[in-house]
């Protein structure tokens, strides 16, 4: 793969692209700095805004937008996350110009019609109800709130709570959009059936027309101190309980990131979920899924381990996770495990970037974190240069069970559980 092209447009938007003509369509992924972190005290407006960007513009109604996009076979989605408001889509060479034009119209001139505001309000309220009945969602949400206290953007539910959702007014959304959605800080990553001419004519030209005086990326404060705790969420009508254990992790740009990432791979991801999967699923048969996750962002991250188990097995499963965390000290990763992990990370570059959508996501990540357009070329060397001891040390420091909170959601009954 050649190096991606990076262009800064006159309005400040950054366009990253790489041609992969064997896949005969385009996939794109982008963002503007209008996520939860930009909300301040106005909780829920980022999510609300993201859902309304397809709700009609000053020129085009929601129904006409849908007809136009689907009439040319394109897809376009907007989602809010903790740091940014993302967009992604697919189109063909022939429909790229119209698709990007519609994207720019949605980003730049949303109308926030009252009817759509109320429809989206109902949709978010219903989603909150559905998520409140989902054991896995409840466990992970409660864990994020425990790990990132005091309303830090990483711990907040992007949808906010029902009371807040009912109070959000159209003017709040208009104000948020005006302040945070514009070309400043916008990243547009695209790949597939593209060439220089198409990029300039069908993508750069419409993107350049995006105007705005947005504030650009906001500074995200480091999360406050995490005081580990245990949370039980009784949901007696469920068949299975979800366990979530976690703590704060390094940021994506922290010097230990690659060591922590490799350690997490070995602990709960590689193959059928690493050491955790072997213990809980393979050896004990306790869970269909038991894995760990490392979610790193600009100002910090979340490390978590999760498992879904029969309520009778909650204590055994928590004990199994604890054993594996303790083992990182008593039986650290072997040289063979570490070699496997490095090989996996290097090899997975080929496999994980086989689709246009995956490549677009990776291009976006390169730009968002400032990793450099040559990052993918350097990645193997970065992974290979990690010493065994660095990874073992990172595992001990980062996955310390005594620094973790524990959440159990489901038919917990009278089970008393601690990590």
Partner 1 sequence: MPTRVETLDNGLKVILRPIPDAKALSTWVTYRIGSRNEVPGMTGSTHWVEHMLFKGGGKLKKGDIDRLVSRLGGKMNAFTDTDFTTYFETIPASAMDTALLIESERMRNAAFDPREVEAERTVVISEREGAENQPEFLVEEELWGLAFHVHPYHWTPIGYKQDLARFERDPLYRHYLRYYAPNNAFLVMVGGFDLAVAMQHIREAFAPLKPEPAPEPMPLVEPEQRGERRSDLRRPGSADLLAIGWHVPPFVHEDTPALIVLSTILGGWRGFTPFAAGEWRSRSNRLYRALVETKLATDTTVRQELKVDPALLIANATLAPKASLDAVEAVVDREVERLRKTAPAKSELDRAKRQVRTWFRYENDGVTYQGMMMTVMEALSSWDAADGVLARVEKVKPEEIRRAAARHLVDDRRSVVRFHAQEASA
The residues in 97-136 that bind partner 1, with binding defined as CB under 8 A, are 118-119, 122-123, 125-127, 129-130, 132-136
Q: Please give the span between the terminal C-alpha atoms of the chain, in angstroms, as a whole number.
A: 46
Mark residues 178-217: x for contact with partner 1 by CB under 8 A, - for none.
----------------------------------------
Q: List the one residue from 7, 11, 23, 208 that touches partner 1 (CB under 8 A).
A: 23
- A 10 A CB-CB count for 66 gives 14
H/E element, 249: strand 241-249
Q: Which of residues 223-262 bind partner 1 (CB under 8 A)?
A: 234-240
Q: Minimum distance between the CB of residue 226 and partner 1, rounded to whole angstroms?
A: 28
Whichever of 133 and 213 has its CB closer to partner 1, that residue is 133
Whichever of 185 and 341 has its CB closer to partner 1, that residue is 341
Reduce the DSSP state of residue 237 to 3 states and report it. Answer: coil
CB 90 within 8 A of CB 190: no
Work out whether 77 is an interface residue with partner 1 (CB under 8 A): yes
Work out whether 25 is an interface residue with partner 1 (CB under 8 A): yes
> How far is 27 from 356, CA to CA, in rounded Å?
6
> How far is 28 from 39, CA to CA, in rounded Å?
26
Whichever of 9 and 194 has its CB closer to partner 1, that residue is 194
Q: Minimum distance between the CB of residue 178 and partner 1, rounded to whole angstroms?
A: 25
Q: Minimum distance between the CB of residue 71 and partner 1, rounded to whole angstroms?
A: 5
Q: List the one residue from 255, 335, 351, 402 that touches partner 1 (CB under 8 A).
A: 351
Whichever of 57 and 345 has its CB closer to partner 1, that residue is 345
Q: Minimum distance between the CB of residue 33 and partner 1, rounded to whole angstroms?
A: 22
CB 91 within 8 A of CB 73: yes
- A 10 A CB-CB count for 126 gives 10
Non-local (6+) Cβ contacts of 304 within 8 A are 140, 143, 244, 245, 246, 292, 293, 295
Query: What is the spatial order of strands in the sheet that 405-410 belongs to?
Result: 230-234, 405-410, 241-249, 301-309, 287-296
Work out whether 13 is an interface residue with partner 1 (CB under 8 A): no
Q: Which of residues 279-298 bind partner 1 (CB under 8 A)?
A: 281-289
- Tokens 């790949």 sit at which residue? 191
Whichever of 109 and 137 has its CB closer to partner 1, that residue is 137
Q: Minimum distance between the CB of residue 289 and partner 1, rounded to whole angstroms?
A: 7
CB 133 within 8 A of CB 236: no
Helices (H) and strands (E) in the chain, counts: 16, 11
Count of residues touching partner 1 (by CB under 8 A)? 76
Q: Which of residues 395-414 bind partner 1 (CB under 8 A)?
A: 410
Q: Which of residues 301-330 bind partner 1 (CB under 8 A)?
A: 308-310, 313
Q: List the one residue from 17, 31, 57, 74 that touches partner 1 (CB under 8 A).
A: 74
């Amino acid at each position: 793969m050649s190096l991606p092209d990076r262009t800064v447009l006159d309005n400040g938007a950054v366009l990253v692209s790489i041609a992969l003509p064997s896949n005969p369509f385009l996939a794109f992924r982008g963002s503007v700095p209008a996520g939860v972190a930009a909300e301040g005290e106005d909780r829920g407006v980022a999510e609300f805004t993201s859902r309304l960007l397809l709700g009609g513009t000053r020129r085009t109604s929601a129904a006409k937008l849908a007809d136009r996009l689907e009439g040319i076979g394109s897809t376009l989605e907007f989602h809010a996350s903790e740091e940014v408001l993302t967009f992604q889509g697919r189109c063909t060479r022939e429909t790229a110009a119209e698709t990007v034009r519609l994207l720019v119209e949605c980003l730049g001139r949303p109308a926030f019609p009252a009817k759509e505001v109320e429809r989206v309000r109902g949709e978010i309220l219903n989603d909150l109800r559905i998520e409140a009945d989902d054991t896995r969602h409840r466990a992970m949400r409660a864990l994020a709130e425990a790990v990132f206290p005091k309303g830090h953007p990483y711990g907040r539910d992007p949808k906010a709570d029902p009371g807040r959702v009912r109070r959000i007014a159209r003017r709040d959304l208009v104000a948020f959009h005006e302040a945070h959605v514009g070309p400043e800080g916008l990243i547009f990553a695209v790949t597939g059936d593209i060439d220089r001419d198409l990029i300039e004519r069908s993508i750069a030209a419409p993107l350049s027309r995006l105007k705005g005086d947005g504030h650009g990326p906001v500074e995200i404060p480091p999360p406050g101190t995490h005081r580990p705790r245990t949370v039980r969420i009784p949901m007696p009508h469920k068949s299975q309980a979800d366990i979530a254990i976690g703590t704060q992790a390094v940021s994506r740009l922290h010097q230990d990131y690659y060591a922590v990432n490799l350690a997490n791979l070995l602990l709960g991801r590689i193959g059928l979920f690493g050491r955790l999967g072997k213990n809980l699923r393979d050896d004990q048969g306790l869970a269909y899924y038991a894995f760990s996750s490392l979610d790193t962002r600009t100002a910090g991250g979340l490390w978590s381990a999760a498992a879904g188990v029969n309520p009778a097995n909650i204590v055994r499963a928590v004990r199994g996770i604890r054993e594996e965390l303790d083992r990182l000290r008593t039986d650290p990763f072997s040289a063979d495990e570490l070699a496997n992990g490095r090989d996996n990370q290097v090899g997975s570059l080929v496999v994980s970037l086989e689709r246009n959508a995956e490549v677009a996501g990776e291009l976006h990540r390169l730009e968002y974190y400032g990793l450099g357009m040559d990052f993918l070329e350097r990645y193997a060397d970065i992974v290979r240069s990690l010493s065994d001891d660095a990874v073992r040390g990172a595992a001990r420091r980062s996955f310390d069970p005594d620094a973790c909170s524990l959440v159990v959601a489901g038919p917990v009954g009278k089970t008393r559980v601690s990590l």
